[in-house]
Amino acid sequence: MNPLKRFSPGTFAAVLAVYLFYTGSVSKYDLITGFIVAIIVSFLIGHWLIENDLKLFSPKRWFYAALYGLRYFLVEETKTHIDVAKRIFTLKANPGIIRIPLDVESDYGKVLVANSITNTPGTVVIDISDDGKWLYVHWIDVSTLDEEEIKRKVIAYFEEYAKRIFD
């Protein structure tokens, strides 16, 4: 393979960023050693970590990611925490395992959706199908079995944003 095509600028930036962040200083020595490490790693693994480097450097995607982070941690987390806290005191629960279809294409998008679901209290992703099209979720309150309804209640806006950030 062409060595220039093998080089992945996204991986380079990620490795250098983690290196400098962990080292905690930006002296000349750190920049030089970090640069060397990042060059070696990004040439060795190529596009294994990041398939399309343009996506990583797109400001629009980063904007959506920041927006998603704010909305998720401030709104959705609060809502579900209150909901689960209520359930603890009223002992109202109707747990079960449901299957949710996934539309998002990229692997990282699927991971974002799955981890967002697991991180909100009350829902836990148990498994993902081998083709990555279905999520199996343990839900504290199986109030409906309708696919669209389940998707609206459990996934909420996660997938929309996952598509905008990663697809």
Interface residues with another protein (CB under 8 A) are: 11, 14-15, 18-19, 22-23, 29-30, 33-34, 37-38, 41, 44-45, 48-49, 107-108, 110-111, 114-115, 125, 127-128, 130, 132
User: Please, what is the minimum distance in Å from the beta carbon of residue 90 to another protein?
Assistant: 30
**Residue 66 contacts residue 105 (beta carbons within 8 Å):** no
Closer to another protein at the Cβ: 107 or 147? 107
Dist. CA 8–CA 42, nearest whole Å: 6
Q: At closest approach, how far in Å is the CB of 91 from another protein?
A: 25
Q: What is the dihedral of CA 143, 147, 152, 154, to 10 degrees?
A: 60
**Which is closer to another protein, CB of 7 or CB of 108?**
108
Q: CB 25 → another protein: shortest distance, Å? A: 9
Shortest approach of another protein to residue 163 CB, angstroms? 16
Angle between helices 28-45 and 9-23 (to 10 degrees): 140
CA R_g for the chain: 20
Give the integer Cα–Cα distance in Å for 104 and 113.
Answer: 9
| Closer of 115 and 143 to another protein (Cβ) | 115
Residue number with CB closer to another protein (17 or 85): 17
Shortest CB 55 distance to another protein, Å: 14
Pairing of strands 123-128, 134-139: antiparallel
**Phi (first) and psi of residue 141, to 5 degrees:** -135, 90
Nearer to another protein, 32 or 85 (CB): 32
